Structure 1
Amino acid sequence: MYIKRNKAGNIEQLSRVATDECRERIDVDAPELDVFLGREDNESGARLAQSDLGLVRVIEDLVDVLIERNLISFTDLPEPAREKLMTRQTLRQRRNSVSLLSEEDEEESI
């Protein structure tokens, strides 16, 4: 890969082959090339989204523990939070029941 830099030294143009404007060779794994192509932000965003998914489950479990120990009441939560928690709980129960049904079906067919 070949690049052209602006006056500040940042990459402003990229080419697969050397051209009159893109003369400086750069390694395809160079971090500044990732920044120029936006790959750094995409990877960071994907890691952040994955982390958020794990955190959602932690928060759900935390709310369940607080309710079980009577430290909070389900009705203490704002309505949108209650709706989201109930929706996720219902979806998880459906998913688990589908898994159980398919396992039972397999056992019966043996």
Structure 2
Amino acid sequence: MAYVLKNKEGAIIAASPDTQVAADWVEIDNADTEYLCFLDDELKKHHTFRESDIQLARVLEDLISILIDRSLISFTDFPSPAQKRLNERQTLRHKNNLQLLADDDIPPL
């Protein structure tokens, strides 16, 4: 059983999979259609933000590369954890680009 918080109109505005957060949260069956629709809507909202975050991270990585290439900043100006993360991301992007190029070489069936 899950717990939900409803507004004055009776629409679900918050949910918890297993914890009654406060006294005004009501128990609801996990298979309840309204509950499942609420969860689906929330996942869609979060997916949009996640995609936006991914795109913004890519822009920031590119910006950092440009600034380093133009000697406006130095890679060593970044703290060690940031350097590590930037190296990891660059390696992942490089591997992904190589994989995409390799896929183009595969003849269609």
TM value normalised by structure 2: 0.58
Counterpart for residue 53 of structure 1: 54
Counterpart for residue 10 of structure 2: 10
**Largest Rg, 1 or 2:** 1
1:51-105 CA-partner distances (Å, limit 9, x unpaired)? 0111111000000111111111100111111111101111222233334445557
Structure 1: 5+ residue stretches without partners: 1-5, 13-27
Q: 1: CA distance between counterparts of 2:77 and 2:104? A: 38
Residues 46-55 or 77-86, more deviating: 77-86
Secondary structure, aligned partner of 2:72: coil
Matched, 1:94 2:99: no
* Structure having the larger proportion of residues in helix: 1
Secondary structure, aligned partner of 1:9: coil
Flag the 1:9–1:77 CA change in 2: closer, same or farther, 3 A.
same
TM value normalised by structure 1: 0.57
User: Residues 1-40 of structure 1 correspond to what in structure 2 (within 5 A)?
Assistant: 8-11=8-11, 37-40=38-41
Structure 2: 5+ residue stretches without partners: 1-5, 13-32
CA RMSD for the aligned pairs?
A: 3.2
User: How many residues were matched structurally?
Assistant: 82
Flag the 1:11–1:93 CA change in 2: closer, same or farther, 3 A.
closer
